[in-house]
Amino acid sequence: MKMRTLALLAGVAILLTGCQREERDTRPDPVKGAGDQAVPVTSLAPGGERPVDTDAKAARFADNAFHMSEGKRLFDWFNCSGCHSRGGGGMGPALMDDKWIYGSSIENIHATIRDGRPNGMPAFGGRVPDDQIWELAAYVRSLAGKSSKAAAPGRNDDLMPHPSENRLPDATTLGRSP
Protein backbone atom coordinates (compact mmCIF):
# COMPACT_ATOMS: atom_id res chain seq x y z
CA MET A 1 0.00 0.00 0.00
CA LYS A 2 2.73 2.39 1.04
CA MET A 3 4.80 1.38 -1.96
CA ARG A 4 1.94 2.12 -4.30
CA THR A 5 1.46 5.61 -2.85
CA LEU A 6 5.16 6.28 -3.15
CA ALA A 7 5.17 5.07 -6.73
CA LEU A 8 2.20 7.29 -7.52
CA LEU A 9 3.87 10.30 -5.96
CA ALA A 10 7.05 9.62 -7.86
CA GLY A 11 5.04 9.34 -11.05
CA VAL A 12 3.30 12.65 -10.42
CA ALA A 13 6.64 14.28 -9.65
CA ILE A 14 8.09 13.02 -12.92
CA LEU A 15 5.04 14.23 -14.83
CA LEU A 16 5.22 17.67 -13.25
CA THR A 17 8.91 18.16 -13.92
CA GLY A 18 8.51 16.73 -17.38
CA CYS A 19 6.00 19.38 -18.45
CA GLN A 20 7.21 22.65 -19.80
CA ARG A 21 5.15 25.17 -17.91
CA GLU A 22 3.95 28.23 -19.73
CA GLU A 23 5.07 31.37 -17.99
CA ARG A 24 2.12 33.33 -16.62
CA ASP A 25 2.50 37.04 -16.59
CA THR A 26 -0.27 37.56 -14.03
CA ARG A 27 0.62 41.17 -13.31
CA PRO A 28 0.96 42.75 -16.72
CA ASP A 29 2.35 46.20 -17.14
CA PRO A 30 -0.40 48.59 -16.00
CA VAL A 31 1.14 51.48 -17.91
CA LYS A 32 -1.15 52.87 -20.55
CA GLY A 33 -0.23 53.90 -24.01
CA ALA A 34 3.22 52.38 -24.49
CA GLY A 35 4.08 50.62 -27.73
CA ASP A 36 4.73 53.50 -30.05
CA GLN A 37 6.40 51.42 -32.70
CA ALA A 38 5.29 52.24 -36.23
CA VAL A 39 3.89 49.24 -38.07
CA PRO A 40 3.40 49.41 -41.84
CA VAL A 41 0.02 48.08 -42.94
CA THR A 42 1.28 47.11 -46.36
CA SER A 43 4.02 44.85 -47.61
CA LEU A 44 4.51 47.07 -50.65
CA ALA A 45 7.54 49.29 -50.24
CA PRO A 46 9.21 51.58 -52.75
CA GLY A 47 12.66 50.31 -53.63
CA GLY A 48 11.75 46.69 -53.01
CA GLU A 49 10.80 44.60 -50.01
CA ARG A 50 11.84 45.71 -46.57
CA PRO A 51 12.66 43.46 -43.64
CA VAL A 52 9.61 43.14 -41.38
CA ASP A 53 10.14 44.61 -37.95
CA THR A 54 8.98 42.50 -35.07
CA ASP A 55 8.06 43.93 -31.73
CA ALA A 56 9.86 42.46 -28.74
CA LYS A 57 6.53 42.09 -26.98
CA ALA A 58 4.99 40.09 -29.80
CA ALA A 59 6.71 36.85 -28.85
CA ARG A 60 5.68 37.22 -25.23
CA PHE A 61 2.00 37.40 -26.07
CA ALA A 62 1.48 35.41 -29.27
CA ASP A 63 0.45 31.80 -28.70
CA ASN A 64 0.44 32.25 -24.94
CA ALA A 65 -2.59 30.49 -23.48
CA PHE A 66 -2.93 32.76 -20.48
CA HIS A 67 -2.71 35.95 -22.51
CA MET A 68 -5.15 34.65 -25.12
CA SER A 69 -7.68 33.69 -22.47
CA GLU A 70 -7.26 37.13 -20.89
CA GLY A 71 -7.70 38.61 -24.37
CA LYS A 72 -10.96 36.71 -24.77
CA ARG A 73 -12.26 38.21 -21.52
CA LEU A 74 -11.14 41.71 -22.47
CA PHE A 75 -12.72 41.27 -25.93
CA ASP A 76 -16.06 41.54 -24.10
CA TRP A 77 -15.01 44.06 -21.48
CA PHE A 78 -13.89 46.66 -24.00
CA ASN A 79 -16.93 46.00 -26.22
CA CYS A 80 -14.87 44.57 -29.10
CA SER A 81 -17.56 41.89 -29.29
CA GLY A 82 -20.19 44.61 -29.70
CA CYS A 83 -18.90 45.34 -33.21
CA HIS A 84 -17.03 42.19 -34.22
CA SER A 85 -19.42 39.75 -32.47
CA ARG A 86 -17.65 36.44 -31.77
CA GLY A 87 -15.42 37.00 -34.77
CA GLY A 88 -18.11 37.01 -37.44
CA GLY A 89 -18.38 40.80 -37.46
CA GLY A 90 -21.32 43.16 -37.53
CA MET A 91 -20.73 46.88 -37.22
CA GLY A 92 -17.07 45.99 -37.74
CA PRO A 93 -15.55 43.44 -40.12
CA ALA A 94 -15.29 39.72 -39.47
CA LEU A 95 -12.13 38.59 -37.67
CA MET A 96 -12.40 34.83 -38.19
CA ASP A 97 -12.03 34.92 -41.97
CA ASP A 98 -8.87 35.41 -43.99
CA LYS A 99 -9.44 39.03 -45.00
CA TRP A 100 -7.09 41.36 -43.14
CA ILE A 101 -7.54 44.93 -44.28
CA TYR A 102 -4.70 46.21 -42.12
CA GLY A 103 -2.53 43.09 -41.80
CA SER A 104 -2.74 39.83 -39.86
CA SER A 105 0.47 39.87 -37.84
CA ILE A 106 0.12 40.38 -34.11
CA GLU A 107 1.98 43.66 -34.55
CA ASN A 108 -0.52 44.80 -37.21
CA ILE A 109 -3.50 43.89 -35.03
CA HIS A 110 -1.94 45.56 -32.00
CA ALA A 111 -1.44 48.74 -34.06
CA THR A 112 -5.01 48.57 -35.34
CA ILE A 113 -6.41 48.42 -31.80
CA ARG A 114 -3.98 51.04 -30.47
CA ASP A 115 -4.23 53.60 -33.28
CA GLY A 116 -7.64 52.85 -34.77
CA ARG A 117 -8.34 52.80 -38.50
CA PRO A 118 -10.03 55.47 -40.64
CA ASN A 119 -13.19 53.57 -41.61
CA GLY A 120 -14.61 53.18 -38.14
CA MET A 121 -12.15 51.35 -35.89
CA PRO A 122 -11.73 53.50 -32.76
CA ALA A 123 -8.27 54.16 -31.30
CA PHE A 124 -7.96 52.42 -27.92
CA GLY A 125 -4.38 53.59 -27.27
CA GLY A 126 -4.13 55.59 -24.06
CA ARG A 127 -7.41 54.07 -22.83
CA VAL A 128 -6.38 50.44 -22.56
CA PRO A 129 -3.03 49.35 -21.02
CA ASP A 130 -0.59 48.34 -23.73
CA ASP A 131 -0.17 44.79 -22.45
CA GLN A 132 -3.90 44.29 -22.63
CA ILE A 133 -3.89 45.46 -26.25
CA TRP A 134 -1.30 42.75 -26.92
CA GLU A 135 -3.55 40.21 -25.19
CA LEU A 136 -6.46 41.30 -27.39
CA ALA A 137 -4.30 41.05 -30.49
CA ALA A 138 -3.17 37.54 -29.53
CA TYR A 139 -6.80 36.51 -29.02
CA VAL A 140 -7.96 37.99 -32.34
CA ARG A 141 -5.44 35.78 -34.16
CA SER A 142 -6.92 32.72 -32.47
CA LEU A 143 -10.35 33.57 -33.93
CA ALA A 144 -8.89 33.10 -37.40
CA GLY A 145 -7.26 29.85 -36.33
CA LYS A 146 -3.85 31.50 -36.52
CA SER A 147 -2.55 30.43 -33.12
CA SER A 148 -1.47 27.19 -31.53
CA LYS A 149 -4.39 24.82 -30.97
CA ALA A 150 -2.79 23.79 -27.70
CA ALA A 151 -2.93 27.34 -26.39
CA ALA A 152 -6.13 28.84 -27.87
CA PRO A 153 -9.16 29.12 -25.57
CA GLY A 154 -11.50 26.14 -25.21
CA ARG A 155 -15.25 25.98 -25.06
CA ASN A 156 -17.46 28.62 -23.46
CA ASP A 157 -19.59 27.97 -20.43
CA ASP A 158 -22.50 29.73 -22.13
CA LEU A 159 -24.00 30.17 -25.60
CA MET A 160 -21.64 28.74 -28.20
CA PRO A 161 -21.84 30.84 -31.35
CA HIS A 162 -19.24 28.71 -33.16
CA PRO A 163 -16.76 25.93 -32.33
CA SER A 164 -14.32 26.96 -29.60
CA GLU A 165 -11.23 28.91 -30.63
CA ASN A 166 -8.95 25.87 -30.29
CA ARG A 167 -11.14 24.02 -32.81
CA LEU A 168 -11.61 26.81 -35.35
CA PRO A 169 -9.88 26.08 -38.67
CA ASP A 170 -7.04 28.24 -39.90
CA ALA A 171 -8.91 30.75 -42.07
CA THR A 172 -6.23 30.54 -44.76
CA THR A 173 -7.17 26.91 -45.35
CA LEU A 174 -10.85 27.61 -45.93
CA GLY A 175 -10.19 28.11 -49.62
CA ARG A 176 -13.03 30.51 -50.22
CA SER A 177 -14.84 33.19 -48.34
CA PRO A 178 -17.29 31.56 -45.97
Partner 1 sequence: MTMPAKNYASTRFSELDEINEENVKDLRVAFTFSTGVNKGHEAAPLVVENTMYIVTPYPNILYALDLTKPGAPLKWAFRPNPEPTSQGVACCDVVNRGAAFSDGRIFFNTLDGHTIAVDAETGAAVWNNKVGNINIGETITMAPLVVKDKVLVGNSGGELGVRGWVKALDAKDGHVVWTAFSTGPDKDVLIGSEFKPFYDSDKGEDLGVSTWPPNAWQIGGGNMWGWISYDPDLDLIYHGTGNPGPWNPDLRPGDNKWTAGIFARDPDTGAAHWFYQWTPHDMHDYDGINEQILLDMDWKGKPRKVLVRPERNGYIYILDRTTGEVLSAEPFGAVNSSKGVDLKNGRLIVNEEKAPRTGKLVRNICPTASGVKDWEPSAFSPRTGLLYIPHANLCMDEQGVDVNYIAGTPYVGMEVRMIPGPGGHRGEFTAWDIANERPAWKIKENFPVWSGALATAGDVVFYGTMEGWFKAVSARTGDLLWQFKTSSGIIGQPVAYRGPDGHEYIAILSGVGGWAGAVVSGDLDPRDRTAALGFAGVMADLKDVTAPGGTLYVFKLP
* Residue ranges in contact with partner 1 by CB under 8 A: 76-79, 82-83, 85-94, 96-97, 99, 118-122, 158-159, 161-162, 177-178
The span from the first CA to the last CA of the chain, in angstroms, equals 58
Give whichever of 58 and 121 is closer to partner 1, judged by the CB atom. Answer: 121
Task: Give, to the nearest 10 degrees, the angle between helix 65-77 and helix 130-143.
Answer: 100
CB of 2 to partner 1, least distance (A): 47
d(CA 30, CA 36): 16
Q: What is the DSSP string of 157-175?
A: SS--SSS-GGGSPPGGGS-
SS3 117: strand
With respect to partner 1, which residue has the nearer C-beta, 15 or 91?
A: 91
CB of 51 to partner 1, least distance (A): 32
- Give me the least distance between CB of 156 and partner 1, in Å please: 10
Closest CB to partner 1 among residues 53, 77 = 77
